[in-house]
Amino acid sequence: MTTTPDKTGVELVSVTIDGIQVDVPKDTLVIRAAEQVGVQVPRFCDHPLLAPVGACRQCLVDVPDAGNGRGFPKPQAACTLPVAPGMVVNTQVTSEVADKAQQGVMEFLLINHPLDCPVCDKGGECPLQNQAMSNGRGESRFVGSGAGGVKRTFPKPINLSPQVLLDRERCIVCQRCTRFAAEIPGDPFIALVERGAQQQIGIAENAPFLSYFSGNTIQICPVGALTSESYRFRSRPFDLVSSPSVGEHDACGSAIRVDHRRGKVMRRLSGDDPEVNEEWITDKDRFAFTYATEADRITYPQVRDTDGSLRPASWIEAFAVAARGLREAGGVGVLAGGRLTAEDAFAYSTFARVALGTNDIDFRARPHSAEEAEFLAAHVVTTGPEAGAVTYADLESASTVVLVGLEPEDEAGAVFLRLRKAALHHGTRVLALAPYTTRGLGKMNGTLVPTAPGEEPAAVAGLLGTEHGLDARSVVMVGERLATVPGALTAVADLVAKTGARLAWVPRRAGDRGALEAGCLPGLLPGGRPVADAAARVDAAASWGVDTLPDTPGRNGDAIVAAVLAGELGGLVVGGVDPLDTTDPAATRAAVEQASFVVALDLRASDVTRAADVVLPVAPVTDKAGSFVNWEGRVRSFERILANPASLPDSRVLAGIAEELGRPLGFRTVEDVRAQMAEMGPWDGPRATMTPVEPVADTARPGEGLRLASWKQMIDNGTMLAGDKHLAATARPAVARVARAVHDACGPMVTVTGDRGSVTLPSEVAPDLVDDTVWLPASSTGRGLLADLASPGSRVTVTGGNA
Amino acid sequence: MSTIDTLTPVLTDDWDAEQSWKLATYESRGGYEALRTALGMAPDDIVAAVKDSGLRGRGGAGFPTGMKWSFIPQDNPKPKYLVVNADESEPGTCKDTPLMMASPHTLVEGVIISSFAIRANHAFIYIRGEILHVIRRVQAAVAEAYAAGHLGKDIHGSGYDLDVVVHAGAGAYICGEETALLEGLEGRRGQPRLRPPFPAVAGLYASPTVINNVESIASVPSIISHGAEWFASMGTEKSKGYGIFSVSGHVERPGQYEAPLGITLRELLEMSGGVRHGHRLKFWTPGGSSTPLLTDEHLDVPLDFEGVAGVGSMLGTRALQVFDETTCVVRAVLRWTEFYKHESCGKCTPCREGTWWLVQTLAALERGEGSEADLDLLLDQCDNILGRSFCALGDGATSPISSSIQFFRDEYLAHLTHGGCPFDPAASTAWAGSLTGAAK
């Protein structure tokens, strides 16, 4: 829980704690210095990642010498007192005064605390319970005093949000939750109200605790006052098995802890990884795990029967049918999807090259471009922290962080928290090239560089000016959305080359970066080997144990879809891709319908599985080992948590088909895959280079509609959010953000119309929205904007909602 | 033998004037002369004069005022602020309220001189929200001062600017604690702040801030007018000057008696006509309910900081609440404890939970329930609050309890043996005589 001070070059201070001398960095708090000598001073309000408050008074220690020869006459709170040279501290271990003070405070804490531990969710993992045992008296004097103590009572729990509940009787008002909300995400929607023993945590009327990070308060609550609708009363901590894992909802690679019981995940908590997500995770990483146990989970292989229906099949049969169909399809494209582990992605990459003999593979289940693929090959693949790539810690020391096509609060929660910390505590300046100042940008003290959709290339080029002062201590973070703007990634590459600023690519999905490393791109083999480089092909072929590899770069995702529709490709292997996420949902859906043979690997039934010829169930992350490579390029490995023999990783399924094809992949288990990946390693030859792409001039005339800005909100209609209605209820409402003039003209409800349809939703004014622009959440309405509204980069019109 | 000559009316000197609160009245009696003198002085010389006078904070803690001012880092580029603590809420304490009522300009003049001394261009007077009449009167005085050119831009051609804001509190005793007051002034929840940083370094809006009691600031004009030596000639060696002694309770003539520090309760009782006729002194508070009780043994204790501390109490705010033998000490202490429970801000555990428990234990004792062991429990609860709470409110809550058990343990026990309170509560009321028909 507490980080050990390990920085070198920090001034050390020598103090004596319980007779033991210890050197700790200057300004270390006594409570943490004590940990260095192995003494745990009891505490509640103290949290190493929150500012000291000294409210609970549980950590009182005796300080006979403050370092100046004089002692404090009264016990001091160890959580607010910094060390001083020569200071002498006696904790409860050696001081009767400290011990009595702590016991006294503990007794006070318990007088108004309901002793309902047997039915409390926190019972068994409760700091109050534990420390009452270690630093309290066994019997209460309260109940026997006077006329018998009367506890303060409150009606049982109240909702702080649709997900977070507060039991005020249990609350010891340590303020960890309110301090977290104010300090870490900057969402101070909970606050102290009332006073004295009636003091409690409250929300303002009509302003519930709607924060993407609200679940962290439950985890740091030192009592059972905060609980979630999703978990409360579900299990006892001592019945749970805890397994470390990695968040699968974004590219942050957050360490999580999965608590499970008898083969079922009961809850998820934040792990503790100071280098990555510290001790915080998003509510999505915490609560969104029920998608894996939804009723539409596919639990057995299916093949298309002669009557046209899907029927259950054995694995053996399904592999054989799939192999036969792919062999006879007449060209197969592979759409791998962005949610794969790196190992599974490597299996897709191997399957395409070795088993199918094609480079027609793409992981990008979203609008993408050839420019992006070249950008990734030239500037992103095989970079990582060990090779000097940008890390979370670098964000804190950066002079400036430029965000282009990236809204971290929605798209990369841990990045948002670290940027906010950097901005607030380390003076990092955040610049965002975005259409308006988002709440997230405000919380990072960020500055908007107003940029209309499509104008990113010019805006990025504009950062070259001296007024922005980008230098080698700056970081440019680009999001996956930039792929839809021709020339934008070219401009970014140019910017970092000219300023010396460092580059980080932050995709949304957890599997994108790993799939890039695994070579799930038409022009890239694993480890960043360019397909166009004969030596790289030979190197990969040798590692794979095959004679040759296809030597022409393949088709990207959009081209694969087009080729199927044009009859150039007959077969598709689809790994959990939702057509609604792709550049042209209708075209992708048509391609799946039209393809002569489709093999679908998926967790749950989808439009693709319903149309597929062979449906193969794959394991959710809990049922397999794997790794996600996060945006830093850091490999975040995790082990299998639940043993489910019927649940196979994609790699095992693909290996089975390949064996039936007579072209085995050389691996069956995740361990085999890891060994193969390690053997192949990163390419040490020349990197691919990028062909600059010219921006496309905006040819629209004034009045020809508005430019559509959009990204996905963290909590939206995504399939991996299925199954937790309480979490879903915390989503930000879907609104169109419009200029004041549009709002005035169209009213509070607007209908936005594009080349693919119309969406009607409430509108809200974004005061600094760039001209001729409207912003909509990408996947919070209907089937999402790509299917319902407009093609990427096209213009839309806004009219009154009832028009 | 003490006489009325012992009194040193300075702050209270104008109180008997016709419409004493008006600017014209104040100026006709020499008001704002000190301001003109001060504006001709170097600010550091004013600080030095206040230091030399020996003036110590009149809000209770007794910290030397001039020294507090000298802690303001003048090289700090942030603005400096003067904040006047007029959140007078302590049970028994009633000196600032009548002062601001009767002579608000004494305070306003003090504010201007003090702000000038510490180079503040903004001053705030934080007045207890419940005393609306006082707020209005101080507001009116500030408005008059603006109109007369005592406030605003370029005051009397000196080039010095000062704006004064009269701020009404929202009804919380805790906001008399200086850092909680600052929180309240900033629009936040009134709870004490962590120190350090101290207000002199990072106070209001994280800027250097002096916080002084009303009476301290109101004393400054007299020091400028008459000199530090004149002020230091009054009082005792370490407690210089005069102060308002608020005598209340079972005395014949309760009121404000302004006298040099070091005067005794015996002298004050003589001036105020003594304890209620036919009764005798039982116990008293030297400085409000947060200061440990004293008894008739302590009639000759000099009422200065050292003298009262010497007998285990505190001079505090010189709120002398006098109780005669008709008063049940358990009852009085319970009422005070209920006050602390009601006013505990809730921030820290010992005060929040401790006062909740103390009230229950005391209430049971008053009803004659519980046992003698509860007295020791009470003392142990006090021991676990005193010095363990975040601010001094918790400490103050324990003072009446521990001191009353020290002096009146038998009376507590009498409640247990009597099966309830042995006193007639009506006998201690102001109308006791008329109710019983007994002659005074």
Q: Does B344 touch chain A (CB under 8 A)?
A: yes
In a domain, A178, yes or no: yes
Q: How confident is the model at residue A469 (pLDDT cuts 50, 70, 90)?
A: confident
Q: A422 and A484: one domain?
A: yes
pLDDT of the residue at A146: 84
Interface contacts (A, B; CB < 8 Å): 119
Q: B288 and B310: one domain?
A: yes
* Cβ–Cβ below 8 Å for A146 and B374: yes
In a domain, A2, yes or no: no
CA distance A29 to A400: 30
* DSSP bridge partners of A273: A278
In a domain, A720, yes or no: yes
Q: Does B349 touch chain A (CB under 8 A)?
A: yes
CA distance B440 to B438: 6
Q: How confident is the model at residue A755 (pLDDT cuts 50, 70, 90)?
A: very high
HSE at residue B127, side-chain half, CA atoms within 13 A, is 24
Best A145, A173, A201 residue to mutate vs chain B (most B CBs within 10 Å): A145
* Cβ–Cβ below 8 Å for B387 and A73: yes
In a domain, A269, yes or no: yes
Q: B57 and B144: one domain?
A: yes
For residue B296, the enclosing domain spans 242-324
* Cβ–Cβ below 8 Å for B356 and A111: yes
DSSP letter string over A168-214? TTT-----HHHHHHHHTT-----EEES-GGG-EEE-BTTB----TTT
A715, A730 in Cβ contact below 8 A?
Answer: yes
Q: Could you report the per-residue pLDDT of A597-614, keeping only the tens digit for each?
A: 999 999 999 999 999 999
Q: A601 and A637: one domain?
A: yes
Tokens of B366: 């008053």
Q: B346 and B392: one domain?
A: yes
CA distance A786 to A776: 11
CA distance A778 to A730: 17
Q: A18 and A101: one domain?
A: yes
Tokens of B306: 């050292």
pLDDT of the residue at B435: 57
CATH number of the domain that B373 lies in?
1.20.1440.230
CA distance B257 to B8: 9
Q: Could you report the per-residue pLDDT of A246-259, keeping only the tens digit for each?
A: 999 999 999 999 99
SS3 for B16? coil
In a domain, B431, yes or no: no
In a domain, A694, yes or no: no
Q: How far is CA B28 from CA B107, B110, B215, in A?
A: 16, 17, 22
Q: B227 and B184: one domain?
A: yes
Q: How confident is the model at residue A145 (pLDDT cuts 50, 70, 90)?
A: confident
Best B89, B356, B395 residue to mutate vs chain A (most A CBs within 10 Å): B356
CATH number of the domain that B255 lies in?
3.10.20.600
A579, A588 in Cβ contact below 8 A?
Answer: yes
CA distance B285 to B293: 5
CA distance A712 to A731: 11
Q: A644 and A662: one domain?
A: yes
Of B197, B238, B329, B312, nearest to B55 (Cα)? B238
Single out the residue in A507, A538, A571 at which a domain terminates: A507
Q: A562 and A578: one domain?
A: yes
CATH number of the domain that A445 lies in?
3.40.228.10
Q: B334 and B314: one domain?
A: no
Burial profile A124-133: b = 16 or more Cβ within 10 angstroms, e = fewer: eebbbbebbe
Partners of residue B369 in chain A, C-beta under 8 Å:
146-147
pLDDT of the residue at A664: 97
In a domain, B438, yes or no: no
Single out the residue in B307, B324, B341 at which a domain terminates: B324
pLDDT of the residue at B439: 45
β-pairing verdict for A474-479 and A502-506: parallel
CATH number of the domain that A202 lies in?
3.30.70.20
In a domain, A700, yes or no: no
Q: Does B177 touch chain A (CB under 8 A)?
A: no
Among left, alpha and beta (phi > 0; psi -120 to 50; other), residue A575 is beta
Q: In what order do the strands lie in the sheet with A264-270?
A: A241-246, A255-261, A264-270
In a domain, A118, yes or no: no
Q: B295 and B406: one domain?
A: no
DSSP state letter for B431? T
In a domain, B204, yes or no: yes
The structural domain count of chain A equals 5
* Cβ–Cβ below 8 Å for A147 and B355: no
Single out the residue in B232, B262, B286 at which a domain terminates: B232
Q: B171 and B282: one domain?
A: no
CA distance B35 to B155: 10
* Cβ–Cβ below 8 Å for A75 and B194: no
Distance of CA A449 to the CA centre of its chain: 25
pLDDT of the residue at A2: 45
Q: B318 and B398: one domain?
A: no
Q: A597 and A576: one domain?
A: yes
Distance of CA A481 to the CA centre of its chain: 17
pLDDT of the residue at A8: 61
Distance from the Cα of A22 to chain B's closest Cα (Å) equals 24
Partners of residue A105 in chain B, C-beta under 8 Å:
349-350, 384, 388
Q: Could you report the per-residue pLDDT of A174-218, keeping only the tens digit for each?
A: 999 999 999 999 999 999 999 999 999 999 988 999 999 999 999
Q: Could you report the per-residue pLDDT of A502-551, keeping only the tens digit for each?
A: 999 999 999 999 999 999 999 999 999 999 999 999 999 999 999 999 99
Q: A359 and A375: one domain?
A: no
CATH number of the domain that A721 lies in?
2.40.40.20
Q: B47 and B74: one domain?
A: yes
Q: Does B193 touch chain A (CB under 8 A)?
A: no
Q: A754 and A634: one domain?
A: no
Q: B67 and B47: one domain?
A: yes
pLDDT of the residue at B315: 96
pLDDT of the residue at A579: 96
Q: How confident is the model at residue A452 (pLDDT cuts 50, 70, 90)?
A: very high
A217, A226 in Cβ contact below 8 A?
Answer: yes
The structural domain count of chain B equals 3
In a domain, B435, yes or no: no
Q: Does B28 touch chain A (CB under 8 A)?
A: no
Single out the residue in B283, B303, B324 at which a domain terminates: B324
For residue A662, the enclosing domain spans 302-366+513-680
Distance from the Cα of A191 to chain B's closest Cα (Å) equals 9
CATH number of the domain that B177 lies in?
3.40.50.11540
Q: How many CB atoms lie within 10 A of CB B133?
A: 11
Mean pLDDT score of chain A: 95
Tokens of A745: 């003209």
A16, A39 in Cβ contact below 8 A?
Answer: no
A366 pLDDT above the threshold of 50: yes
Q: A187 and A280: one domain?
A: yes
Q: A525 and A569: one domain?
A: yes
Q: B292 and B181: one domain?
A: no
Q: A485 and A590: one domain?
A: no
Radius of gyration of chain B (CA): 22
Q: A348 and A469: one domain?
A: no
CATH number of the domain that A83 lies in?
3.10.20.740
Distance from the Cα of A297 to chain B's closest Cα (Å) equals 50
The model carries a pTM of: 0.95
Q: Which residues of chain B fall short of a pLDDT of 50? A: 1-2, 439-440
A556, A376 in Cβ contact below 8 A?
Answer: no
Q: B14 and B104: one domain?
A: yes
Q: How many CB atoms lie within 10 A of CB A154?
A: 16
pLDDT of the residue at A517: 98
Single out the residue in A483, A507, A531 at which a domain terminates: A507
